[in-house]
Chains A and B, each alone.
Chain A
Amino acid sequence: MTVRPLLICSLLALSTASVTYADVRSDAKAQVSFGIAVAEKGLWREALYRWERAAEIDPSYAAVWNNLGVAYEQHGLFDKAREAYEKAIDLEPNNLNIMQNYDLFREINDRIQESR
């Protein structure tokens, strides 16, 4: 019977502590979602702007850096794309989607370097 109050107290503490974090993340998420919606319509400049905003709001959000990597690639900004992907991998080293994007990026980038 003593378990229930303890659980409720700890959940309450956890939720109040993460309120600010959740706010920041949800603001960033809103920018990310908007960016994805416009990127799917081919509006990459707007998508890039949204994801750069999201990165300012929440720099610890790996998905933002992954998406930025994709947008920079689309604009031919290969150095910036590499930096963004590497940041995403640092934040989520086991994310297979990010790894796949990074591998494909490196393959293209290597091909470009070879032809230069």
Chain B
Amino acid sequence: MTAFRNLASVLLLIIVSGCAESFYEVPLETPLQPKLDVTRFQRILIAGFVTGGTDEIDTNLETARLLRSQLRTSSKLEVIDAEVIELRDIAEQQADFVAPRPSSDSPPEEVAAEDEGDEATESEDTMLSEKDLEAYEHIFSDASYWRQLGEEFQGSLILTGTIHFSPHNVASMVNREREVYDSFGRRRVVPLRAYQDRTGYVLSPRFIFIDGSTGATLYTERHREEILYDRQQNPPALSSYFELMDRLMPSFLATLSTESIRSTRILLR
């Protein structure tokens, strides 16, 4: 019986060791192909943008500066250092330009501001809404304009588009935590839903990639990001702008350059 037991345990050991799964953790780098094939381009020109919304910052200049510096470090394309074009002015000078009508869907805050005086009214007049920007879109389909610009920069890839950056106010229910003390003086934190006024910014860029040798649009992508703060915080426009651009930057860069995601996987034997 002892011999039988020994034989059985040896067999069991063989079976268990045979079935035991060995695993090896390996680092993995998953490549992400760019959304746009830019292999035939050596250079990129960030021409300028038609901008709307707040005039607290120069959205055209800031966007061109930021994208240039990001592309210099993340893309193989040579970034051309040229003067940023005031595309809004150029679009307005074109023969087929129809000035946008004042939009009737202004938020109540803006309407109230208009009533406050002439200065405020002037400022509101220069602020273009997202809808107003549509009146300038004809410039992006003007192939001869872009081809001419492309010739100046040896048929490089041209980046342009529209950027709308505007203040945003929201009053809504938010979740908060509140400290409460019971009759024995014990502290508890309870969730509380409260109505709160919040203020912030909305950034809606539309990036248009144009082939400088033909003037044709190659690729277009839209983004929309918003950020809200407590009304008391009063955040500066420029820092909100950079925070919002930071959020959409990975997706923007993925259009032009190969990226990789690092993680780990388990190999089995």
Contact = CB atoms under 8 A, between A and B. Distances in A.
B187 interface: no
A62 B268 CA distance: 9
B32 interface: yes
A10 B23 CA distance: 33
Given A4-B4, A63-B21, A73 B32 contact: no
Interface in A28-71: 29, 32-33, 35-36, 39-40, 62-63, 66-67, 70
B30 A66 contact: no
The range of chain B's interface size is 20 to 34
A112 interface: yes
Contacts of B28: 70, 73-74
A97 B23 CA distance: 8
B31 A67 contact: no
B181 interface: no
Contact of B266 (A32, A40, A100, A108): A100
The interface residues of chain A, by DSSP majority, are classed as helix
B40 interface: no
A11 interface: yes
A98 B265 CA distance: 9
B24 A73 contact: no
B30 A108 contact: yes
B267 A66 contact: yes
A108 B251 contact: no
Given A4-B4, A40-B26, A67 B32 contact: no
B269 A29 contact: yes
A9 interface: no
A32 B263 contact: no
Nearest to A102: B265
Nearest to A96: B266
Contacts of B23: 97
B233 to A, nearest CB: 30
B4 A76 contact: no
A82 B150 CA distance: 42
B11 interface: yes
Interface of B: 4, 11, 21, 23-24, 26, 28-33, 35, 250-251, 254, 261, 263, 265-269
7 contacts: A70-B26, A73-B30, A76-B30, A95-B268, A97-B23, A104-B265, A115-B254
